[in-house]
Amino acid sequence: MKSDRSSSQLSLQRPELLAPAGNWDCAKAAVENGADAIYFGLDRFNARMRAQNFTEADLPQLMAFLHLRGVKGYVTLNTLIFPKELAAAQQYLRTIIAAGVDAVIVQDVGICRLIRHISPDFPIHASTQMTITSAAGVEFAKSLGCQLVVLARECSLKEINKIQQQIAQQDTSLPLEVFVHGALCVAYSGQCLTSEALGGRSANRGECAQACRMPYELITDGETVNLAERKYLLSPQDLAGLEVLPYLVKSGVTCLKIEGRLKAPEYVANVTRVYREALDCVMVQLAKGKGMPTTKLPHLPISPSTSQERYNLEMAFSRGLYTGWFGGINNQELVHARFGKKRGVYLGEVTRIHNEQVTLKLEAPVKPGDGIVFDCGHPEAKEEGGRVYAVVQKGKEVVLTFGRHDLNLRRVHLGDKVWKTNDPELDKQLRQSFAGENPQFQRPIYIEVYGEVGQPLIAIARDELGNIVQVESAISLVEAHTKPLTKDRLQEQLGRLGNTPFCLGTLSNHLNGTVMLPVSELNRMRREIVTQLEELRSQPKRWQLSLNASLADLLPSLTPPLFHSPPLPLSPSLIVLVRNLQQLQAALQTGIQTLYCEFEDPRAYTKAVQMVREGQTIANQTIWVAPPRITKPGENWILQQVRASEADGYLVRNYDQLQFFATDRCIGDFSLNVANSLTADYFQHHFGLERLTASYDLNITQLEDLLTSCSPQWFEVTIHQHMPMFHMEHCVFCAFLSTGTDYTNCGRPCEKHEVKLKDRVGSEHVLKADIGCRNTVFNGTAQTGAEYVQRLIDLGLGHFRIEFVNETPDQVAKTIHCYHQLLQGEITGSQLWRELKLQNQLGVTRGPMGVSALQS
């Protein structure tokens, strides 16, 4: 498969096409189908631990293979790193850098610091797990030494363009990468605690259990809403950005990323090829001045065409294809809710069942050997399916025959939807695309030829990566009496590049006069060009790697006095976070000194501050208010509303808020993902935060490691809460309690109803919306780490937080009283747990702080 790229495109910014690789076959599939780069995990510290993954020992061979083929390789080190893992991570990074890897994709702030300390030039890519949604996030990544930012998938094209404008104006510009195809997480990456909450398996550690793909019931004001066959309320359709490629190119994004490190090599080959060919076509059109998109972006669902590209993408893997958030918010289309697993190509509905045969009105091609499944609207149950044995066309309908006993036709019904889930012929074609040892996807080289009679022929060849070689003929040119070296003859001989990684892009003929050279010599020169270019390309990248720099240089000093840490309270301090004014009133009456408010409407913060100051009964009582978890371009008005409350301080959640509230008293919340001392030290010293909330991914042992690796005065720990599981742009209120698409036309059902999501085991989880219309699903059962409190006090921790969601004022008062008793030593953690568990409406379990400790 030859590349169809002309030199006229080289002046345009062609985004890099980045493909996933979970193993060697996937890497070959990506390379042979046109990927410019691949990303892959090793056996530790990557966000797809279920993938087959590569090992450190594979790196030299893998990188040599990739570089020979003109492809870059990026390692994913995109998880949080715990304190005891930092030393291993340092050695891991040295191996990666020494192997000539092209970049590492990172989530953890401390790991960014460590990389930049041991290597001043090794490229760092800020992972989508860093939840970067704004210019402030890009600036934050740049301050850590990152060279590229992978934006959150929730960013629309309009927002991407706005971020590009802002970072250009602020001179903090970094290349931006976006996901263009594949599975969409419903929650913001880096902010999903669902797997952690439900089973101690953290998505921030590569162990996502995919709870978003499960069925849920919608409970509104205590009643189950009849949504018919729509049960998969949190399962988005798969992202397909094929139709917005011109807009993405115009936006100036540097890299287009395909999701799928858990997918098969056929998927990688299929999707990579579709996007390679489509992107090349877009670049040709734009280079000719055609196809330039307008500045106004229309709503962009994928059209219901049956083009080969769409067919291939649906057969690769599809839960339905959609442009995701590129076209903005459309809650009616993002999640169709009818299934949460792979379907494929829609064939039609069953119209007749007779004599082991099924008739349907066909909407897409089907042939013997294809695999199909019958969808009766209950995908959670076992579904009938099998291979087609014979196909007979009857007018506008088709009769499908199956092998004897392959199907239980009693479980197939009239009206069932039929999906093609497998096309063996397509799979065979795809496997052939990366089979064998000879390169099948060739990348262009550009040759210039110089010479005259009596002088050697000089050929200068360069590739797209900037490698350049010069080869001279061993004999001189002579005057041609017949068959002179014309451009066509030179192209014919020097372009014979079969079985090499190259194809001839353009050839420039600068020969003087009519000259000739034996064909055998031209062939030798061609082979020499290939050999020298291959040798240059196979050289490992040589990054600077300081032998003297080490992790120990960055670890915070444990010798007092520590950096501006406030003194520990005389006795352990209880902090209470409330989510409405009634809870706040109840907390005030218990004499709590430090109060946090996280309300759905920040305008209510003014009233909350007024209540605290007017009802103040204890000295130095403070009220802190929380902005929403996510801030996007154009949303500073929300932060201004928060500041207008004139609270004592702010609970900051993201990079915009670190910047906006830089001159105010601030405490860093759990969403900053502080899991080790290098990260904690960075936030303390660069932003002057009074305290940091330890990451919710830490179990008790890891939390103890964090508190002993830096000052415990820097931290507070949440010991009672309804874990915020999903935090998402998807608005369940809008999608299923209205016919609107977004906040402009939904009628605001979030302000009128109390909503819960009921999972498969009967647990009901609380759904809340914030001022930005983002939803959070809170675990319906509160979790406590009370049994570990005394251990944490003994380590010097002085600040303990408890959080409420939908508790009544009476429950708030009772819970606060129990934790007061715990911190005063009047009851044990086990006694508190039993006491709260007796309050049936509240319901409390031992949380993942303990669950994870048992599993670690």
Flag whether 190 is in a domain.
no
H or E element at residue 195: helix 194-199
Range 695-724 average pLDDT: 94
Share of the chain above pLDDT 70, in %: 92
pLDDT tens for 149-160 read 999 999 999 999
Flag whether 559 is in a domain.
no
Q: Tell me, what's the pLDDT at 566?
A: 55
Q: Tell me, what's the pLDDT at 300?
A: 40
Task: Quote the strand ranges of 331-428, DSSP E.
Answer: 345-354, 357-361, 371-375, 385-394, 397-402, 417-422
Range 646-666 average pLDDT: 97
**Chain-centroid distance, C-alpha 637:** 27
Q: Tell me, what's the pLDDT at 48?
A: 63
Closest CA to 651 of 597, 688, 611, 603: 597
Query: Does the pLDDT value for residue 11 go beyond 70?
Result: no
Range 624-629 average pLDDT: 98
Q: Tell me, what's the pLDDT at 738?
A: 96
Q: Please state, in angstroms and rounded to a whole number, the distance separating the CA atoms of residues 818 and 800.
A: 13
Q: How confident is the model at residue 522 (pLDDT cuts 50, 70, 90)?
A: very high
C-alpha distances in Å from residue 706, one per residue of 50, 84, 449, 703, 792: 27, 9, 63, 5, 11
Give the bridge partners for 764, in sequence order: 758
What is the signed CA dihedral for 403, 409, 414, 417, rounded to 10 degrees? -60
Q: Domain check: are 180 and 73 in the same one?
A: yes
pLDDT tens for 496-519 read 999 999 999 999 999 999 999 999
Give the bridge partners for 212, in sequence order: none
CATH of the domain at 579: 3.20.20.380
Contact 285, 291 (CB under 8 A): yes
Q: Tell me, what's the pLDDT at 558?
A: 76
**HEC assignment per residue over 510-547:** EECCCEECCHHHHHHHHHHHHHHHHHHHHCCCCCCCCC
Domain count, the chain: 5
CATH of the domain at 306: 3.20.20.70
Flag whether 549 is in a domain.
no
pLDDT tens for 425-469 read 999 999 999 999 999 999 999 999 999 999 999 999 999 999 999
| Mean pLDDT for all residues in the chain | 90
Flag whether 269 is in a domain.
yes
Q: Please state, in angstroms and rounded to a whole number, the distance separating the CA atoms of residues 2 and 262.
A: 28
Query: Does the pLDDT value for residue 410 go beyond 60?
Result: yes
Q: Tell me, what's the pLDDT at 81?
A: 95
Flag whether 772 is in a domain.
yes
Query: Does the pLDDT value for residue 841 go beyond 60?
Result: no
Query: Does the pLDDT value for residue 563 go beyond 50?
Result: no
Amino acid code (one letter) for 25: D
Q: Domain check: are 85 and 230 in the same one?
A: no
Q: Domain check: are 586 and 680 in the same one?
A: yes
Q: Domain check: are 174 and 282 in the same one?
A: yes
Q: Domain check: are 129 and 270 in the same one?
A: yes
Instruction: Among 331, 360, 383, give the residue marking a domain's end.
Output: 331
- Residue 218 sits in which domain range? 204-235+728-779
pLDDT tens for 723-761 read 999 999 999 999 999 999 999 999 999 999 999 999 999
Q: Domain check: are 743 and 759 in the same one?
A: yes
Amino acid code (one letter) for 395: G
Q: Report the SS3 class of residue 196.
A: helix
Task: Quote the strand ranges of 404-467, DSSP E.
Answer: 417-422, 443-451, 456-463
Query: Does the pLDDT value for residue 10 go beyond 50?
Result: no
Range 689-696 average pLDDT: 96
CATH of the domain at 419: 2.40.10.170
Q: Please state, in angstroms and rounded to a whole number, the distance separating the CA atoms of residues 107 and 555.
A: 19
Flag whether 560 is in a domain.
no
Q: Domain check: are 685 and 609 in the same one?
A: yes
Higher local confidence (pLDDT), 712 or 566: 712
Q: How confident is the model at residue 539 (pLDDT cuts 50, 70, 90)?
A: confident
Number of Cα atoms under 13 Å in the Cβ half of residue 312: 22
C-alpha distances in Å from residue 560, one per residue of 128, 458, 578, 710, 713: 37, 70, 35, 11, 11
Query: Does the pLDDT value for residue 120 go beyond 50?
Result: yes
Q: Domain check: are 697 and 755 in the same one?
A: no
Amino acid code (one letter) for 179: F
Query: Does the pLDDT value for residue 130 go beyond 60?
Result: yes
Contact 151, 133 (CB under 8 A): yes
Contact 666, 691 (CB under 8 A): no
Q: Report the SS3 class of residue 848.
A: helix
Range 386-408 average pLDDT: 90
Q: Domain check: are 688 and 788 in the same one?
A: yes
Flag whether 3 is in a domain.
no
Amino acid code (one letter) for 853: A
Q: Domain check: are 249 and 351 in the same one?
A: no
Query: Does the pLDDT value for residue 205 go beyond 90?
Result: no
What is the signed CA dihedral for 502, 507, 512, 516, rounded to 10 degrees? 50
Going 427 to 430 to 434 to 436, the CA torsion angle's sign is: positive
Pairing of strands 371-375, 417-422: antiparallel
Flag whether 521 is in a domain.
yes
Q: Please state, in angstroms and rounded to a whole number, the distance separating the CA atoms of residues 189 and 79.
A: 11
Q: Please state, in angstroms and rounded to a whole number, the distance separating the CA atoms of residues 832 and 326.
A: 48
Q: Please state, in angstroms and rounded to a whole number, the distance separating the CA atoms of residues 507 and 9.
A: 16
Q: Domain check: are 311 and 425 in the same one?
A: no
Q: Please state, in angstroms and rounded to a whole number, the distance separating the CA atoms of residues 804 and 583.
A: 8
Contact 81, 108 (CB under 8 A): yes
Instruction: Among 277, 298, 331, give the residue marking a domain's end.
Output: 331
Contact 123, 544 (CB under 8 A): no
List, as one string, the DSSP characters of 735-754: HHH-S-SSTTTS--GGGT--
Q: How confident is the model at residue 854 (pLDDT cuts 50, 70, 90)?
A: very low
Q: What is the pTM of this model?
A: 0.93
Q: Domain check: are 258 and 229 in the same one?
A: no
Contact 679, 114 (CB under 8 A): no
Q: Please state, in angstroms and rounded to a whole number, the distance separating the CA atoms of residues 419 and 442.
A: 36
Instruction: Among 520, 538, 556, give the residue marking a domain's end.
Output: 538
